[in-house]
Structure 1
């Protein structure tokens, strides 16, 4: 049995308005979320900084858009292969040790990206990076279910997942500055410095995790015994409302596979933003890498605010489906506006890209309230990993297809319309889910 979920008699579910418990959960949040948030910022930065490196890397190495798209996407093949095994191991050995393993290995591999010379080396390193990072995101989502009942997860998952847009807020200007200023220093190109410098935070945070992160509630020395009992009782009461608890349930429940398909469509939209936002901004008429980096902060900053606001609304109303679907449809409208504006109106194009980024990011963070509402225990360990790994195959498909479309049409328009269509389909499929199962 997982140490964070001891066997207890099922107590009455807590009242969310209880001030003492709200204060207790605030302490838990301040203890856990800042560190996990920083880890995810570092992880996401190392995953997608290739989008900025592309601005110089392709010309230096004579790579085509298709080669770049395949290299950017092949990350997710390695991610897919090791995702479920990684989450099962985390469930058995604990979050602290496994997250450290994840972060140290991906930091080393990310730094090695600076040695890329040929498409083959590019593909191999991106594949290995996917293997190394597999398990961090679903592992953290699983870890949060050990601490928070479903009523509180909308806001908490949103806070954690703001690491995606914040990595853009931080990484955009940083990456732009590195490309702008570091080229030629010690004989290295700007894109080589980018991979090296941005790998360092991941390594440092891996060391911090081993010192700061508790395996579960019972091991938290900063909680009193009464506080531990309260937290454990709330999680146990919440888990009693789910019907799927075994490893097998995480693989075999039809709802899990329905969520896989929905998530795949949403991930198409996410990696359109992550891998192509610098290119789309450049296509709108902005040329300087530093300026592009600064402009990427606008969509990401707006998305971070949107994620938190919608997360609070989702928890307060105990409603999940519309809080997932509506932001996705709004994101679709943003993509269409961005394409319509093109290079003729940079301001309108940026507004469209900002709205699209807000919609995509908000939809994704609210999506993760769905699988954790129907799965618990070992089923959550496997089910969350299955959904994340299957859905992230779109991370392979999306950049490769868009790169191929750009090479063939010499335009990003058709690729962006494809992303918009995927967000629309995903949003409509969410509304088809049974309300009684997911609105928890």
Structure 2
């Protein structure tokens, strides 16, 4: 026993080195998976530049197709995470990635608006559970005080997807049209749907469900990592489903859901309308649109890392989140008045990216702080799926308002209003948590 205690003490002295080891093992693989996830989800925004006429889509019907992705996503998010709790992250991530790769490739076969709508629903069902599943997975490896940075590293994949996805999509759209009788947007879906199949299988060999399962860690390292995790309010007699039902009775869970609902509205503008905004500002070449669409993500990534680092140093999440969504809302309004200048439009999109990416990374440090380990899988999936109702409503309403008014102004103001409401909701959680502590 003495020898074991000495071993743990030695490992604790090497704590920073050990966490670097864990980060290098887990984060790059998860990062690449999420890059592909995001590219497969938003490459429709580039395909739209050419397939809109082929399929007979208007801005409103395109917005409907974008939003229908979240029907399947919302329906299967919670079941997927409850299954993850039983079978582990490795098998869950493999299943999700293989399914979404196949359906993304099948998008190349759509010929009518109805087929487009169906494919988007199926793609959402296939991808359901990936993001909240990874959030839960990371909480099983990293303690509270590290999660601002860790979530930032993970969410950085959104920026990377926007940075590399735009130019790659632009190149495919520019040069592959007509090859083997396929149109450029068909090649886009085929090429960007292949890699998830390989990585899904690789997940079985690269990932381990918990520190205790990792053969690349010594026994002392496994025990050290497990001991550092903050697990509160556990009731081992409850199943994961029972714990989830109990969590639904917490007002904090519903308030947090409203906060995440708002963030998805900013993501809708950045991920699905940025190419159109750049094009309407005066950039007509599709390759240039793809290249310029990467700029906001690069700037947004840098801003997000600063937010995450500062939040960890101050151990404060709620006001950091509020500042992020306020910046995103202000940028959304500014975009509507900047379409006369490509440079100004890009600057506004960059501010929107900083606010959006920072808000996503910071948000997930908040519910993981008040949920127990057994409550987390179902509850985090619930927040994600209910919040994604915003991703269903936002593009439909934004596209409808744009069609009716002939500009983006009213739609941008609506986005900003929702963001400001979500920011206020999350700040209210801070006082709610203080009240709960004082009562206990």
Alignment TM-score, normalising by the size of structure 1: 0.92
Q: Could you say which residue in structure 2 is the equivalent of 1:240?
A: 232
Query: 1:181-235: CA deviations, max 9, x gaps?
Result: 1111111111111000101121121122111111211110111111111111111
Separation (CA, whole Å) in 2 of partners of 1:76 and 1:177: 28
The offset of 1:337, in angstroms, is 2.5
Q: Which residue of 2 aligns with 1:265?
A: 262
Matching residue of 2:209? 215
Asked if 1:277 is matched to 2:274, the reply is yes
Give how far 1:241 is off: 6.8
Report the Cα offset of residue 413 of structure 1.
2.2
Unaligned ranges ≥5, structure 2: none
- Of 345, 351, 357, the residue aligned with 2:353 is 357
Shift of residue 242 of structure 1? 7.8
What is aligned with 2:84? 90
Match of 2:368 among 367, 372, 380: 372
| 1:249 to partner: Cα distance | 2.7
Residue pair 1:251, 1:382 contacting (<8 A) in 2 also = no
* Aligned match for 2:379, one of 360, 380, 383: 383
Structure 2 match to 1:6: none
In structure 1, distance between residues paired with 2:209 and 2:428 = 37
Determine if the alignment matches structure 1 residue 199 to structure 2 residue 193: yes
Q: 2:416 — aligned with what? A: 420
Compute the displacement of 1:19 (Å).
5.7
Cα pair 1:36 1:160 within 8 Å, conserved: yes
Q: State the Cα deviation string for residues 64-104 of structure 1 (Å, max 9, x = none).
A: 11111111110101000000000000011000011000000
Q: Which structure 2 residues correspond to residues 218-367 of structure 1 after superposition, within 5 A?
A: 218-235=212-229, 238-240=230-232, 246-343=243-340, 345-367=341-363
User: Counterpart of 1:365 in 2: which secondary structure?
Assistant: helix
Give aligned pairs, total: 423
5+ long unaligned stretches in structure 1: 1-10
Q: Give the equivalent residue in structure 2 for 1:4.
A: none
1:105 corresponds in structure 2 to: 99
**Structure 1 residue 368: Cα displacement:** 0.6
Aligned counterpart, 1:3: none
Give deviations 1:217-263, integer Å, cap 9, x for gaps.
Answer: 1110111111111111111xx11378998232332211111111111
